[in-house]
Structure 1
Amino acid sequence: MTLTQADPKNLIRESFRIEGIGAPECRSIFVDWALSLPDHVAPVSAIRLLLDHYAPQAAPGAQAHPMVAVLVEGAQSGASVARRRGGRAARLAR
């Protein structure tokens, strides 16, 4: 997978170029990015590629870019398997 495939609209790339961007704006950009991914692109693989590319460049100082934290969170939550949490139907099925 290439960066162009992982970020087809360059939303993540542009977020790293915005000075003073905060976590809420990064989350909004992340949602737009996720919705723009083609069906054949695995989101977790794309996130890991983007992190490998942008994270080392993003933290020259002591404070990391907020998009790095959003991408890390997205990779962690995307890697977990969705499970049914229960509810009335689960209790009655026994």
Structure 2
Amino acid sequence: MAKDGQGPDDPKGLIADAYRIDGIDKAECRSIFLDWALSLSGDTGPAIERLLVGRGDHPMTEVLREGLGEPVRTGRRGGRAARIER
């Protein structure tokens, strides 16, 4: 992928645009990241790794690195046994 344009890892150019926005904060980068992640199908990990190549200090870089982490599992989310009183 071109560092400053669209490619297979950033088909809408969302990540590239985030890097071009002056004064963008981490919250705005998270919103862009979510839109980007929902536009891809499958595992985003390899795409994130490719998008990080050559990127310096930027809020989007932090968000992309966080995107490589494992999702936090909060435990059991319910089911029949949780709804029935004992």
TM-score, length-normalised on structure 2?
0.74
Aligned mate of 1:72, from 55, 58, 65: 65
Change (3 A) 1:84 1:67: closer
* Residue deviations 1:27-72 (CA, integer Å, cap 9, x gap): 00000101111x2x5300000000014x1xx3xxxxx200000000
The whole-number CA distance in structure 2 between the counterparts of 1:45 and 1:27 is 18
Does residue 49 (structure 1) correspond to residue 50 (structure 2)? The answer is yes
Give the residue type in structure 1 aligned to 2:29.
C
The whole-number CA distance in structure 2 between the counterparts of 1:27 and 1:12 is 11
Aligned mate of 2:8, from 5, 10, 17: 5
Higher relative contact order (CA 8 A, sep 6+): 1
Q: Which residue of 2 aligns with 1:24?
A: 27
Give the residue type in structure 2 aligned to 1:67.
M
User: Identity rate of aligned residues, in percent?
Assistant: 46
Aligned mate of 2:38, from 35, 40, 47: 35
The whole-number CA distance in structure 1 between the counterparts of 2:66 and 2:38 is 17
Tell me, what secondary structure is at the counterpart of 2:69? helix
- How many residues align? The count is 77
